[in-house]
Amino acid sequence: MLRVGVCVSGGGTNLQAIIDKVESGAITGVELAAVVSNNAGAYALTRAKNHGIPVACISPKDYGTREAFHRALIETLDRFHLDLIVLAGFLVVIPEELVRKYRNRMINIHPSLIPSFCGTGNYGLAVHEHALKRGVKVTGATVHFVDEGTDTGPIILQKAVSVREDDTPESLQLRVMEEAEWEILPAAIDLIANGNIRVENGRVVRTT
């Protein structure tokens, strides 16, 4: 069983999609070993507790320096002996040490078709505001391995979603979640748990 830890900051709808697919058997070979939040008020923590998943909360506010917070974050994650870390709406800049430690063992969901609308300043609703402002007709979501850059790691899965004339950032965000994020994030975890992909020369290739 792959021990998976999910890092969250907010509502946790992506976490819920993962939980549902583990429980229904759509994802196999996975044990949800931990949910870690940087925000004690995150509803994602309630979702985890409702399903008996161990939780930890580690807030930067409780540490004097960024370095101390990073050290505590790494120690917390290490304590759960995770094989895979899933960043599911985790709004914390990942320290390089964590990236190095979990290289090709940490994935992130981003609500656009990378390399569009990604990088610093593109998170949450802002991504959809930028997409609508630019007038793109197609957007979507991407799951990728995490490297030292922001949204630059090897791409695992992407799914496109059409933009409608009357979309607001909120309506587009919801459709990207429903049609893309909640599908490709669990699917990527299943691919990894079953050894179906590997990273080769900075790109993800299928092994089966």
The residues binding ligand GAR (CB under 6 A) are 8, 10-14, 44, 88-89, 109-111, 123-124, 127, 177, 181
Q: Alpha-carbon distance 131 to 123, whole Å? A: 12
The answer to whether the Cα torsion of 57, 5, 42, 121 is positive or negative is positive
Q: Which is nearer to ligand GAR, 8 or 36 (CB)?
A: 8
The tokens 């793109």 sit on which residue?
136
For 206, other C-beta atoms within 10 Å of its C-beta total: 8
Catalytic residue among 110, 128, 130, 144: 110
Q: Which is nearer to ligand GAR, 50 or 207 (CB)?
A: 50
Residue 110 catalytic?
yes
The backbone torsions φ and ψ at residue 144, rounded to the nearest 5 degrees and listed phi first, read -145, 155
Q: Which structure tokens are listed for 51?
A: 């399903």
Q: Residues, the chain, total? A: 208
Question: Collapsing DSSP states into helix, strand and coil, what is residue 60?
Answer: helix
- Least separation in angstroms between CB 68 and ligand GAR: 24
Q: Any idea which residues carry the catalytic annotation?
A: 110
